[in-house]
Amino acid sequence: MSESTLHLTADVLVVGGGPAGCWAALAARRAGASVVLAEKGYVGTSGATPPANTTLFYTVPGDRLQNDGMVDHRIAPAKGFIVRDFVRRVYDETTVNTELMTRWGYPWPRNETGKTFRGNLRGPDYMIFLRKRLLAEGVRILDHSPALELLTADGVAAGAAGITRRSGDRWEVRAGAVVVATGGCAFRSGVVGTHNLTGDGYLLAAEAGARFSGMEFSGQWALAPAEGGLTKGIIYFSGSFSDADGTPIPHPGVPDALAAGRSVHAVLDRADPYLEDGYRKGQPNIFVYFHRLGGNPFTDRYPVRLLYEGTVRAAGGLDVDERCATSVPGLYAVGDATTREKLTGAAMSGGGPAVAWCIASGTWAGQAATAFARQVAAGTAGLAGRPVQAIGGAGLRPAANPDPERTAEAVTRAVQQEILPLDRNYRRTGPGIAAALERLDGLWEAARDGLAPPAGATPRDIVRAREAAALVATARWILASAGQRTETRGLHRRADFPGLDPAQHHHLLSGGLDRVWVRRADPHEEAVAA
């Protein structure tokens, strides 16, 4: 493997090249910063957005009925924590940036009268459009270059170091500020577009001391054809469900039926011809599965399953302030890597809010990171002169002798056995959480001490070891938080506490590596209680 290292210096380093990372890089560049964007895959095709088409939420200037309605319909499922003014601010920022996209030449679809329609983004061409814009603005893109660890200077984020997957070359970027845009974590459950979303940014940030919020609101499961991985919930609002014998199952009862081991079939027989035509034209990726395997989902029953989408589409993540700053100076976070509680409460982010959040949070973080970097550059040592420290641990630098039996694949399987079984995780119990946490704590200690890339490791081996450590850490923050919330609220479901407890209208913050901690925090004063 190559031993060469690419050394770069930039005002702002963005780690992750999904939509939120792209918007952060664009905002920083437009604010005058030099920007490097390092992406695990290829910017434009990597992550959950390129294989999907998704709705987009934004406000319409002067249309109070429309704008209030967009906020109001989220309040009930949010089960508390949603902050109306914050939601409006996110959608207003999205409106500003969709206007930018128009000026940049984004080809919005048009209806039969020629009017543009901005309520939907086609994932593939949206991401390629953003890539072209990044290059036009002068952002330095490092494709296939996952970050392995952060660099810090006296407790301040000062860059990152990583590896180029294709060549094995190392890279190091010293920066005045860092934006984490690595997405959420779906634990390699099989959902299309989430294979590389393994909580890498969570681990990087936690090693620097960042904290999380709402990690218990991570119970996001979505329906997919039994042999497919594309989870598109919208079509199932037009579906009927039944078991193997044809006995009807109400839609809300489908998850519990699957968790109980029953076979469940769906047919989209409630879609009228107009809606069916809309699904086929607006979401053509849904029907690739049926084109390959045969069958008409609007007339033929087909078996379905639930796949875990984790924090990719749930609410929990890194805790950030109004500027998307984490609790670590110089470290910002955006998109699915962050908590979305103020936007969606305890509910899933869904397509429209999530896409808007990527645009808004990316913009705010890019601007704030640029301002922070300017302060650093004006300091005595400047950007390049600060002594920095690489702080990566588990999976990268074992605390003891590497254990050849402790492979990345074995660690990943062990985490999945705790997080993915539907019968134990759709509705959790206190004893179940405690037992899983005990096993995961032991797994973390073993990974911290003995997980390392094998001798003669390939770039893939090195990345996989770090990913496995991130999966263990993420599972522990999720379960530790789930154990502290003794109620059922939104995406957090407890079989032993099935009701919502108004006395628990508070956030749960979490963090830590060797010792995971969880503590209560009051909700924002403006939060709408459940």
Residue with tokens 């209208």: 505
Check residue 23 and give its pLDDT. Answer: 98
Tens digit of pLDDT for each residue in 204-220?
999 999 999 999 999 99
Please state the pTM of the whole predicted model: 0.95
Nearest CA-CA partner of 239 in 254, 228, 226, 229 = 254
Check residue 73 and give its pLDDT. Answer: 84
H/E stretch holding 145 reads: none
Check residue 75 and give its pLDDT. Answer: 87
Check residue 3 and give its pLDDT. Answer: 60
Check residue 528 and give its pLDDT. Answer: 72
Which positions of the chain have pLDDT values less than 70? 1-4, 525-526, 529-530
Check residue 446 and give its pLDDT. Answer: 95
Q: Report which DSSP code applies to 176.
A: E
Tens digit of pLDDT for each residue in 261-280?
999 999 999 999 999 998 88
Inter-residue contact 269 to 297 (CB < 8 Å)? no
Q: Which segments of 216-315 are extended strands (E)?
A: 221-225, 240-243, 248-249, 264-267, 302-308
- Quote the Cα angle for 188-402-513, to 5°: 55
Residue with tokens 């792209």: 22
| DSSP secondary structure, 161-214, as one string | EEE-TTT--EEEEEEEEEEE----B-TT-S-TT-TT-BSHHHHHHHHTT--EE-
Check residue 256 and give its pLDDT. Answer: 96
Check residue 89 and give its pLDDT. Answer: 95
CA 166 vs CA 211, 420, 460: distances in Å? 33, 31, 9
